[in-house]
Amino acid sequence: MKIGILGSGDVGRVLASAFLKEGHDVMIGTREIGKEKLVQWKSENAEGMTGSFEEAANFGETLVLATVGSGALSALGLAGKDHLSGKVIIDATNPIVQADNGFPQADHGVLRYFTTSNESLMEQLQHAFPDARFVKAFNSVGNAFMYKPSFPEGRPTMFICGNDALAKETVSGILGAFGWDAEDMGMAESARPIEALCQLWCAPGFLRNQWTHAFKLYKIK
Ligand SMILES: NC(=O)c1ccc[n+]([C@@H]2O[C@H](COP(=O)([O-])OP(=O)(O)OC[C@H]3O[C@@H](n4cnc5c(N)ncnc54)[C@H](OP(=O)(O)O)[C@@H]3O)[C@@H](O)[C@H]2O)c1
């Protein structure tokens, strides 16, 4: 597949490298192609491409959204709605409130969100771009564990949701190849609790500097 990654931060670069390792063609989109970490990524991933948000969205048959939460709508706008229409967009973002210095704001280890518990960022994005096929995924684990995580208990669970069943199948297949069990939690509204999982995942990190975990759903069939 051709994968367009909208976002050049840690998540964008980690997922871009993962897709390359899985044999896909990848372009990372950014507003600043010359930024140091991206230039370094390109030097370490010779076959990987970089471009503008619009170029990456145009390139990708499947897209990944990995921008800061407050910049997600803007990045999709720069990508251009014609380049999003009909495409699966894996949404890894979280609606984290950031202070002026760029650091996330947290209360006793709980990240502050700019959404409430009866709404989610992904619903806002789906509403703004109704022809795109958003699937929430990868938002509830640190980037170090996104590709082929190794836990003694086995494969962890990635909770996903979205309005398009085929899009969720596509993303479940990608998650399987990346070492995850995908668990479909429903329609776009389920992004409310899935986005909140990021707050839960980060709490032990902020409180005890413990960042090496992932969620697992145990089930009786
Ligand atoms: N870090 C993690 O381990 C982790 C884990 C799970 C989920 N997430 C979520 O994944 C997303 C990406 O996280 P990250 O840590 O990789 O990077 P980040 O620092 O949160 O975001 C960097 C990206 O956001 C873009 N951006 C910033 N402001 C923008 C604006 N106003 N308009 C358009 N784009 C803008 C940047 O664009 P340029 O390329 O132009 O600079 C860059 O591509 C976040 O929503 C985060 O909550 C992060």
pLDDT in tens, 22-69: 999 999 999 999 999 999 999 999 999 999 999 999 999 999 999 999
The answer to whether 171 and 135 are in contact (CB under 8 A) is yes
Give a yes or no: residue 87 inside a domain.
Answer: yes
Domain around 66: 2-208
Q: What's the predicted TM-score (pTM) here?
A: 0.98
Residue 213 lies in a domain: no
Which pLDDT band, with edges at 50, 70 and 90, does 217 fall under? very high
State in Å: Cα 71 to ligand 1 middle. 8
Ligand 1 atom nearest to 12, measured from its CA: 16
Residues with CB under 6 A from ligand 1: 7-12, 30-32, 66-69, 71, 74-75, 92-94, 96, 139, 142-143
* Half-sphere exposure in the Cβ direction for 44 (13 Å, CA): 12
CA of 66 to the centre of ligand 1 (A): 5
Query: Does some domain include residue 217?
Result: no
Please indicate, yes or no, if residue 219 is contained in any of the structural domains. Answer: no
The answer to the question of residue 221 being in a domain is no
- Residue 6 Cα, ligand 1 centroid: separation in angstroms? 9
Q: How far apart are CA 159 and CA 164, in angstroms?
A: 15
**Number of domain units in the chain:** 1
Closest CA to 17 of 155, 143, 179: 143
